[in-house]
Amino acid sequence: MSPIVELRNMEKSFGAVQVLKGVSFTVEKGEVVAIIGQSGSGKSTALRCMDRLETVTGGELFVCGHALHDPKVDLHALRKDVGIVFQSYNLFPHLTVEQNVTMAPRLVQKMSTDAAREVARAVIAKVGLSDKLDAYPEQLSGGQQQRVAIARSLALRPKLMLFDEVTSALDPKLTGEVLRVIEGLAKEGMTMILVTHEMQFARDVADRVIYMRDGIVHEMGGPEILTNPGTPELAEFLAHGY
């Protein structure tokens, strides 16, 4: 079987600034990969390229069978296969939890209202918020809003989930709530790539850890590299607790 994600010497520049300088790695079906590194290392840019929120400027990028380096790639088909959750929740404030989650299945997959509600209730239950179906975002904690954002992505039944620093705006208790949801998805076999600064979580849940620095993959391996780094740069990064 071919990998779900494959980066081949991927490059990305913003004007004269090259942010990704030839990044290559693969992600297999069912794998959980954590990408770590200092701010400005290119990790979030790499993730955004995987949902075509950014366009690659060199190399090749394949995600769920879609060639994202091809200008003619079908973005509608890609977005059915890939879910992405950001640090900011981006929920619609005037819609209830259930309405926020049913919107994508109805608009993207043309589901009937009843079918979309059934899917929504299942994924809202999965993130532990069945008692909040009729609540509005302003009535929820940050952790609850982030869990709704995860449910909204899950409602499209993606093959791949991308998480970009989803806990960085949350306090430790709320961070734990969100990480437990992601851990549950990992146990169910969901393929996931997480840009994260939660080293303990990466140690416990990730199958593989990728350390990026200055726009390249500097070190890659199992979670054991977080306790036994192979390069002085990763050792320094871990020692400073970035």
DSSP labels, 27-42: E-TT-EEEEE--TTSS
89 has pLDDT over 90: no
Give me the sign of the Cα torsion angle 10, 12, 17, 20: negative
Q: Inform me whether the pLDDT recorded for 2 exceeds 90.
A: no
Residue with tokens 């879910």: 83
Count of Cβ atoms closer than 10 Å to residue 57 Cβ = 15
Question: pTM for the whole thing?
Answer: 0.93
Mean pLDDT value across the chain: 93
- pLDDT(242) > 80: no
pLDDT band at 241 (very low <50, low <70, confident <90, very high): low
Query: What is the pLDDT averaged over residues 40-56?
Result: 95
Mean pLDDT across 83-94: 91
CATH number of 5-240: 3.40.50.300
Instruction: Write the Ramachandran bin of 7: left for phi over 0, alpha for psi from -120 to 50, otherwise beta.
Output: beta
Is residue 205 very low, low, confident or very high in pLDDT (cuts 50, 70, 90)?
A: very high
pLDDT of 8-44, one tens digit each?
999 999 999 999 999 999 999 999 999 999 989 999 9
pLDDT value at 114 more than 60: yes
pLDDT, position 174: 87
pLDDT in tens, 118-157: 999 999 999 999 999 999 999 999 999 999 999 999 999 9
Residue 187 backbone dihedrals phi, psi, to 5 degrees: -65, -30
In the chain, the percentage of residues whose pLDDT exceeds 70 is 99
172 pLDDT tier (thresholds 50, 70, 90): confident
